[in-house]
């Protein structure tokens, strides 16, 4: 506890008391401030990506053009688009037993939104009975979640998921890593590289913050029902080991 000084009135005593009060206030607010310092900040530098369209000379080289984002092509991957209503709003890259869902949103010009979005995702999952761990990972601050799910046999289970995100100039890119990539670091490396090397096309038109950046199908894409296998088409950018573009299940976004 703090006691009152016996001597008072001097300028030196007043300065000491002011310093003491400031130190106490800092100690009391340090824990709360540690979380708020990561919110409402300007977008951080992105020396390793993801990239803005204006930062890449040839965004279509080695990437699949989905309009709002250019997704890197990787040998053996399967690319699925996901819809909300009639709009394509997300793309999921499936690689062996792991996947990363990519979704881009509009954001304020001078303020990042990943801190707020992270807090909202965490709140939604904990309300469902899930468990959240906020850590600083290879892609910056992320959420590692244990999400309650119902298994095919009707019993309750838990799915491990990683939510990653990066704020860019007037956009925000979110990734959701699932499967072995959410459990084993060695399985996540290529998915993290895909996330980093994605190019976001925000466009110059007015958009409200958090509006999804709508995607489109490539010109030579073929819609294939999920689970149906087709022979690769000669000359398609999806040939050479990359799976056909598929339409996945509609997503229910946690925002």
pLDDT of residue 197: 96
pLDDT of residue 15: 54
pLDDT of residue 10: 56
pLDDT of residue 14: 53
DSSP string, 109-137: SS---HHHHHHHHHHHHHHTT-EEEEEEE
Strand partners, 90: 82
pLDDT of residue 111: 87
Determine the straight-line distance between the first and last CA of the chain, rounded to whole angstroms. Answer: 44
Query: Would you give the DSSP letter of residue 245?
Result: P
Per-residue confidence in pLDDT tens, the chain, 255 aa: 333 344 445 555 555 555 554 443 444 444 444 444 456 677 778 888 899 999 998 998 999 999 999 999 988 999 999 888 888 989 999 998 999 999 999 999 888 999 999 999 999 999 999 999 999 999 999 999 999 998 888 899 999 999 999 999 999 999 999 999 999 888 899 999 999 999 999 998 999 999 999 999 877 665 555 554 444 333 333 222 333 344 343 333 333
Q: Strands, DSSP E only, in 119-218?
A: 131-137, 140-150, 156-168, 171-179, 199-200
CB 119 within 8 A of CB 133: no
pLDDT of residue 44: 78
pLDDT of residue 7: 44
d(CA 154, CA 175): 28
pLDDT of residue 225: 53
């Amino acid at each position: 506890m703090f006691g009152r000084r016996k001597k008072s009135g001097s300028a030196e005593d007043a300065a000491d008391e002011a310093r003491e009060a400031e130190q106490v206030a800092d100690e009391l607010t340090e824990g709360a401030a540690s979380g708020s310092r990561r919110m409402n900040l300007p977008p951080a530098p992105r020396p390793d990506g993801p990239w803005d369209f204006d930062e890449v000379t040839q965004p279509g080289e080695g990437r699949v053009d989905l309009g709002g984002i250019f997704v890197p092509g990787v040998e053996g991957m399967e690319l699925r688009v996901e819809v909300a209503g009639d709009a394509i709003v997300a793309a999921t890259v499936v690689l062996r037993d792991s996947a990363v869902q990519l979704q881009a949103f509009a954001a304020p010009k001078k303020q990042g939104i990943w801190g707020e979005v992270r807090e909202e995702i965490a709140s939604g999952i904990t309300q469902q009975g899930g468990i959240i761990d906020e850590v600083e990972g290879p892609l910056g601050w992320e959420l590692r979640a244990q999400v309650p799910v119902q298994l095919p046999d009707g019993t309750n289970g838990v799915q491990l998921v990683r939510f990653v995100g990066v704020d860019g100039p007037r956009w925000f890119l979110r990734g959701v890593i699932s499967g072995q990539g959410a459990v084993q670091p060695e399985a996540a490396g290529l998915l993290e590289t895909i996330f980093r090397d994605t190019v976001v096309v925000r466009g110059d038109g007015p958009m409200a913050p958090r509006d999804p950046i709508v995607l489109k199908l490539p010109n030579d894409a073929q819609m294939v029902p999920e689970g149906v296998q087709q022979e690769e088409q000669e000359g398609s950018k999806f040939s050479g080991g990359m799976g056909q573009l598929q339409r996945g299940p509609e997503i229910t976004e946690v925002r």
